């Protein structure tokens, strides 16, 4: 992770009169989506970069130690070693960016990563009444503290959408600031649930307020909304990150999550980061993709590049 964001005092003048040009935003997003993709060896390099930026995730009601253990092994070995050898990347220690689980599974993930020989891979945990956030503030704060005590190095929290929709930005700021304090040394990733915020202008304001309150990352979605990570929203959020950096000198990370399933999609999001924020943001310290099935398609595309054919179902390990 990057250096912590200390946050700043609440100042509505940073965002109060901001308006997003929706047609221009959608036009720019469409340019990113429809452009010619990277090919062959360049594509492999981009896909390996994407793999290192994945928060490999399981957030299911039937999660057990066994499936968390399997996920952690995949986090340590995201790409088959023979495929890495074929593209000259064996013995590079390539892993995903983090493993993301519910708070009750944090201890399982910490244990499983140690068993896999990868205690350095961070455990991220969703908290604060994920995904709705409709629990009492004191319970949300306790949930953060418990996840950190159990070994989580990153906490993904959800904002109070009722405050955001009512324009109570000081209320959003105050809650996120308390979340930041409860995290201690763990990094804070703030989920905006953009599919429920109503407008791109509200997305920008929520992004700026979260960063002012001390967010180390801002994240699009819980993955449970009707609309999750889409490029127009991502564009607004990364431009808010750029504006915050210009004002403070603090680099804030970005995490799109929900609905990103294909290798091609991952390359599009990488292109967004490179073109809007620059190469400094093309690392797991400042860019993550929240996904559960994306890793499988990335490995499948690398397999095709190496062998000239697509893998049968049994040829690639499942996360």
Q: Determine whether 19 is an active site residue.
A: no
Q: Which of 252, 281, 141 is nearest to 187 (CA)?
A: 252
Active-site residue identified among 74, 177, 219, 285: 219
Interior CA angle at 37 toward 33 and 39, to 5°?
165
- Taking the C-alpha atoms of residue 257 and residue 96, their distance in angstroms, rounded to an integer, is 15
For residues 213 and 244, the answer to whether their CB atoms sit within 8 Å is no
Query: CA angle, 253 as apex, 181 and 216 as ends, to 5°?
Result: 5
Query: Residue 99's closest CA among 81, 79, 115, 75?
Result: 75
If you count DSSP H runs as helices and E runs as strands, how many of each does the chain have, helices first?
A: 12, 8
d(CA 238, CA 253): 9
177 a catalytic residue: no
Residues with catalytic annotation?
219, 255
């Amino acid at each position: 992770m990057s250096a912590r964001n200390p946050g700043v005092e609440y100042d509505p003048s940073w965002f109060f009169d901001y308006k997003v040009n929706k047609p221009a935003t959608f036009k720019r997003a469409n340019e990113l989506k429809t452009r010619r993709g990277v090919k062959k060896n360049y594509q492999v390099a981009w896909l390996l970069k994407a793999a290192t930026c994945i928060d490999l995730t399981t957030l299911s009601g039937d999660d057990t130690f066994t499936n968390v253990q399997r996920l952690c092994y995949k986090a340590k070995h995201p790409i088959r070693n023979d495929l890495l050898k074929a593209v000259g990347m064996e013995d590079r220690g390539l892993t995903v960016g983090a493993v993301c689980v519910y708070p009750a599974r944090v201890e399982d993930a910490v244990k499983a990563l140690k068993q896999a020989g990868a205690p350095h891979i961070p455990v991220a945990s969703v908290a604060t009444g994920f995904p709705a956030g409709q629990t009492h503030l004191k319970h949300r704060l306790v949930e953060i503290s418990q996840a950190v005590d159990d070994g989580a190095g990153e906490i993904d929290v959800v904002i109070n959408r009722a405050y955001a929709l009512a324009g109570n930005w000081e209320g959003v700021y105050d809650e996120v600031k308390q979340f930041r304090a409860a995290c201690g040394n763990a990094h804070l990733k703030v989920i905006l649930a953009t599919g429920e915020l109503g407008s791109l202008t509200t997305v920008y304001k929520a992004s700026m307020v979260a960063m002012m309150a001390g967010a180390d990352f801002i994240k699009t979605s819980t993955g449970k909304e009707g609309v999750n990570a889409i490029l127009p929203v991502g564009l607004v959020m990364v431009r808010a990150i750029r504006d915050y950096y210009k004002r403070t000198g603090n680099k804030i990370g970005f995490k799109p999550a929900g609905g990103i399933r294909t290798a091609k999609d991952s390359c599009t999001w990488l292109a967004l980061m490179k073109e809007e924020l620059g190469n400094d943001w093309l690392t797991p310290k400042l860019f993550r993709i929240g996904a559960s099935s994306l890793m499988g398609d990335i490995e499948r595309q690398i397999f095709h590049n190496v062998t000239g054919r697509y893998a049968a179902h049994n040829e690639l390990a499942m996360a």
